[in-house]
């Protein structure tokens, strides 16, 4: 892909803006800007059509406060659709790094980055740096942007204990936003993010987490509220609900799901989110319906493996009623593509209903979080090969699975097809690791099938 502008990398910036800048939630006429600053001074912001800020088109003044951990969000409107802009903040004499963003709109194609499962102690985020250098409309983040726990040995988490309180979650988010690859990614592209479990606690729901102990850690509701508050403070997402819909002209509509906040024992979506999703999938007129979906929707039988259960009820498999209602609503449209994270491995699935494919699902692998070979402590591309074959034998709708590699994905949407590429990091312990495209699949419109594209 074409190289991004020089602003795709964060410059050495004033320590006043130590956590970089970000943009997110693009609309046809606007975008959300984010930064964090510790100062009582007024914060001026500017949006320009050029990276040298000769043509400033919007500007304003805002303030930061301790009540929001000194994070700042600015809602910019009145911009042109499908257009690149540059933005920066000033506080007194301090100037932030320059960020680049793009409004939503309708071109002949859309290009997105896709990422999930960035565990700081498990490795470095070279995959984010790679996405920062690509020519993209936006980056879709499918969750586990932070991890609340302490798994991994490459570099230490802050705080040095599991996150439970608001201060803990704020400190953890702040640490991630000091990473140069995180800063470069946000400075280069607007992000459209939803969360998964590790922004609160492992396998979380509205009613608890198996890793939460109320006896020692207090009520789950307080912890979830703390995690939620810190997420909304530190992420470039609009206030309110995380399940929301973005329109890219007639080409694509992207619905992001929140599969944690409304989850109970019986529903993964909650009634209101389920109704909204089904309404969008069945009435929206865009050629493609993309769904940002933090956990796998395809049914999955797990081969008998030591220490592994034979199903994963944290995925949609634990919620067959919701899944049935959503998949049945699709009818024979065959224009829905689920974009999924969570399981630290790469998959291309033809989502079945009654034995027939009704949608496709592409799963991005983890940026760094441990996966199969690491959990088994075996070299990559050894023991996993047989297990991958077992997965495909047990699940004929799984057309591709790779259990070992880390990295990011890109998604290219045109009228005729959706193409999903996996780009793998050579060594997640190396902050300057090479990253290269490893696999490509595509779905032609009106088929709900996946097909390998030769490299
Ligand atoms: Fe994860």
The answer to whether the beta carbons of residues 32 and 11 sit under 8 Å apart is no
Residue 39 domain-assigned (yes or no): no
Residue 41 burial (10 A CB sphere; 0-12, 13-18, 19+): middle
The residue written with tokens 């609009």 in the block is 238
Which of 365, 366, 370, 344 has its CA nearest to residue 152?
Answer: 370
CA of 69 from ligand 1 middle (Å) equals: 26
CA of 116 from ligand 1 middle (Å) equals: 7
Q: For the chain, how many structural domains are there in total?
A: 1
User: DSSP characters for 93-149?
Assistant: TEEPPPEEEE-----S-EEEEEE----GGG---HHHHHHHTS--SEEEE-S-SS-SS
Q: What is the pLDDT of residue 2?
A: 37
Largest pairwise CA distance in the chain: 63
CA of 291 from ligand 1 middle (Å) equals: 18
Residues in CB range of 272: below 8 A, 6 or more apart: 262
CA of 201 from ligand 1 middle (Å) equals: 11
CA of 342 from ligand 1 middle (Å) equals: 4
Report how far residue 429's alpha carbon sits from residue 412's, in angstroms, rounded to the nearest whole number.
Answer: 29
Residue 72 domain-assigned (yes or no): no
Reading the block at residue 389, the tokens are 């074959």
User: DSSP characters for 14-72?
Assistant: -GGGTT-EEEEEEETTEEEEEEE---SS-EEEEEESSTT-SSEEEEEEE---GGGTTEE
Residues in CB range of 240: below 8 A, 6 or more apart: none
Residue 14 domain-assigned (yes or no): no
Residue 8 domain-assigned (yes or no): no
Q: What is the pLDDT of residue 13?
A: 61
In order along its 455 residues, the chain shows pLDDT tens digits of 333 334 444 445 678 999 999 999 999 999 999 999 988 889 999 999 999 999 999 999 999 999 999 999 999 999 999 999 999 999 999 999 999 999 999 889 999 999 999 999 999 999 999 999 999 999 999 999 999 999 999 999 999 999 999 999 999 999 999 999 999 999 999 999 999 999 999 999 999 999 999 999 999 999 999 999 999 999 999 999 999 999 999 999 999 999 999 999 999 999 999 999 999 999 999 999 999 999 999 999 999 987 788 999 999 999 999 999 999 999 999 999 999 999 999 999 999 999 999 999 999 999 999 998 898 899 999 999 999 999 999 999 999 999 999 999 999 999 999 999 999 999 999 999 999 999 999 999 999 999 999 99
CA of 117 from ligand 1 middle (Å) equals: 4
CA of 103 from ligand 1 middle (Å) equals: 29
Report how far residue 69's alpha carbon sits from residue 36's, in angstroms, rounded to the nearest whole number.
Answer: 8
Helix (H, G, I), strand (E, B) or coil at 320: helix
Residues in CB range of 170: below 8 A, 6 or more apart: 69, 230, 233, 234
Residue 249 domain-assigned (yes or no): yes
Residues in CB range of 280: below 8 A, 6 or more apart: 245, 253, 255, 289
Report how far residue 123's alpha carbon sits from residue 404's, in angstroms, rounded to the nearest whole number.
Answer: 14
Q: What is the pLDDT of residue 171?
A: 98
Domain residues for the domain of 271 are: 106-452
CA of 316 from ligand 1 middle (Å) equals: 16
Residues in CB range of 7: below 8 A, 6 or more apart: 51, 86, 98, 99, 100, 187, 188
**CATH number of the domain encompassing residue 349:** 3.60.21.70
CA of 369 from ligand 1 middle (Å) equals: 6
Residue 10 domain-assigned (yes or no): no
Reading the block at residue 89, the tokens are 């903040």
Reading the block at residue 198, the tokens are 């590790």
Q: Strand 288-293 vs strand 336-340: parallel, antiparallel, or unpaired? A: parallel
CA of 81 from ligand 1 middle (Å) equals: 33
CA of 184 from ligand 1 middle (Å) equals: 22
Q: What is the pLDDT of residue 376?
A: 86
């Amino acid at each position: 892909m074409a190289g991004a502008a020089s602003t795709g990398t964060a410059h050495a910036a004033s320590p006043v803006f130590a956590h970089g800048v970000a943009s997110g939630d693009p609309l046809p006429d606007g975008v959300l800007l984010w930064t964090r600053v510790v100062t009582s001074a007024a914060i001026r912001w500017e949006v320009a059509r050029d990276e040298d800020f000769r043509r400033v088109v919007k500007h304003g003044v805002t303030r930061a406060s301790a009540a929001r951990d000194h994070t700042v969000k600015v809602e910019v409107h009145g911009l042109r659709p499908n257009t690149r802009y540059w933005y920066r903040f000033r506080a007194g004499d301090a100037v932030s790094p320059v960020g680049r963003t793009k409004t939503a709109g309708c071109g002949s194609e859309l290009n997105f980055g896709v990422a999930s499962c960035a565990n700081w102690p498990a490795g470095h985020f070279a995959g984010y740096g790679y996405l920062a250098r690509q020519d993209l409309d936006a980056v879709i983040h499918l969750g586990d942007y932070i991890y609340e726990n302490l798994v991994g040995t490459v570099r230490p988490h802050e705080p040095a204990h599991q996150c439970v309180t608001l201060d803990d979650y704020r400190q953890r988010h702040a640490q991630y936003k000091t990473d140069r690859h995180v800063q470069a990614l946000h400075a280069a592209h607007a992000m459209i993010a939803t969360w998964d479990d590790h922004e609160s606690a492992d396998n979380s729901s509205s009613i608890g987490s198996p890793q939460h102990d109320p006896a020692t850690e207090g009520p789950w509701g307080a912890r979830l509220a703390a995690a939620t508050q810190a997420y909304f403070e530190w992420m470039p997402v609009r206030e309110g609900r995380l399940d929301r819909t973005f329109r890219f002209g007639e080409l694509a509509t992207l619905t992001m799901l929140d599969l944690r906040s409304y989850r109970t024992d019986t529903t993964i979506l909650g009634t209101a989110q389920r109704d909204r999703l089904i309404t969008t999938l069945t009435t929206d007129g865009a050629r493609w319906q993309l769904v940002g979906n933090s956990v796998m929707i395809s049914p999955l039988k797990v081969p008998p493996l030591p220490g592994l259960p034979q199903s994963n009820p944290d995925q949609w498999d634990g919620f067959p009623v919701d899944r049935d209602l959503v998949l049945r609503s699709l009818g024979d449209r065959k224009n829905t593509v689920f974009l999924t994270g969570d399981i630290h491995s790469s998959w291309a699935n033809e989502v079945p209903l009654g034995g027939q494919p009704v949608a496709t699902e592409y799963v991005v692998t983890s940026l760094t979080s441990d996966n199969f070979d690491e959990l088994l402590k075996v070299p990559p591309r050894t023991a996993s090969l047989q297990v991958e074959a077992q997965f495909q034998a047990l699940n004929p709708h799984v057309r591709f699975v790779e259990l070992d590699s880390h990295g990011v994905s890109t998604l290219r949407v045109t009228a005729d097809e959706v193409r999903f590429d996996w780009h793998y990091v050579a060594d997640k312990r190396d902050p300057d690791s090479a990253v290269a495209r490893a696999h490509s699949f595509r779905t032609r419109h009106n088929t709900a099938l996946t097909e390998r594209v030769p490299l």
